[in-house]
Amino acid sequence: MLEARIYVGLRDKDSHEQRFDIEKYKSILKGVCKNYRAPFSLDVIEGGYFHEDGSWVDENTLLVTFIGIRKRTVYEIARDICTFFRQETVMITLTPSIRFNIHDDLASEEIENMKKKGEDHNADSADETI
């Protein structure tokens, strides 16, 4: 399963100003995700960067996270976000992830194996890369 994240700054590509309040951007982004039938979570991030001219810019960023949707859908959503938010680029990160459900056979088997090996939830071996 894949976790995809799209980071989108809220400053307009031409005016370099945030044109709307954050709630308006969130509303647009929620509509885009619903249109693609893509389950998501949404965070607002405050940050900044140095502009090409060397000046410091404070910027609000929306981070939308998807789990278990196709890469193609992520790219289509990113394209729409660029269009609707007047951005030239957004950043996409893709990370492998797993869905852990305590009632799944695989999850129960893994927990039992850890118990047999004497591993607990705080042991370093529980943090191994899988």
Residues 82, 112 share a domain: no
Domain co-membership, 15 together with 65: yes
Distances (CA, A) of 111 to 1, 23, 98, 126: 20, 42, 15, 10
Asked if pLDDT for residue 22 goes beyond 50, the answer is: yes
65 and 92 fall within a common domain: yes
Asked if residue 89 and residue 48 are part of one domain, the reply reads yes
Please check the confidence at residue 130 and state whether its pLDDT lies above 60. Answer: no
> Percentage of residues in the chain with pLDDT exceeding 70?
83
Q: Note every long-range contact of 22-28, with CB atoms under 8 Å and residues 24 or more positions apart, other chains counting.
A: 22/60, 22/62, 25/62, 25/85, 26/62, 28/84, 28/85
Together in a domain, 71 and 16: yes
Do 79 and 111 belong to one domain?
no
Cα–Cα distances (Å) from 81 to 7, 24, 108, 115, 117, in that order, read 10, 13, 40, 46, 48
Supply angle C-alpha 93, 95, 63, rounded to 5.
Answer: 40
Supply the range of the domain harboring residue 116.
100-130
What are 62's strand-pairing partners?
Answer: 8, 44
pLDDT at 17 over 60: yes
19 and 66 co-located in one domain: yes
d(CA 73, CA 37): 10
Higher pLDDT, 114 or 19: 19
Q: Are residues 89 and 124 in the same domain?
A: no
For residue 65, give the 3-state DSSP assignment: strand
Is pLDDT above 60 for 129? no
Residues 107 and 60 in one domain: no
54-112 per-position pLDDT tens digit = 989 899 999 999 998 999 999 999 999 999 999 999 999 999 987 777 776 666 676 67
Residues 46-59: what's their mean pLDDT?
89
The CATH number linked to 90 is 3.30.70.120
Report, as an integer, the average pLDDT of 107-125. Answer: 63
Question: Residue 12 pLDDT more than 60?
Answer: yes
Q: Is the pLDDT assigned to residue 35 strictly greater than 80?
A: yes
Question: Does residue 119 share a domain with residue 62?
Answer: no
Q: How many structural domains compose the chain?
A: 2
Phi-psi sector, 14: left (phi>0), alpha (psi -120 to 50), beta:
alpha
Shared-domain flag, residues 60 and 104? no
Residues 115 and 94 reside in one and the same domain:
no
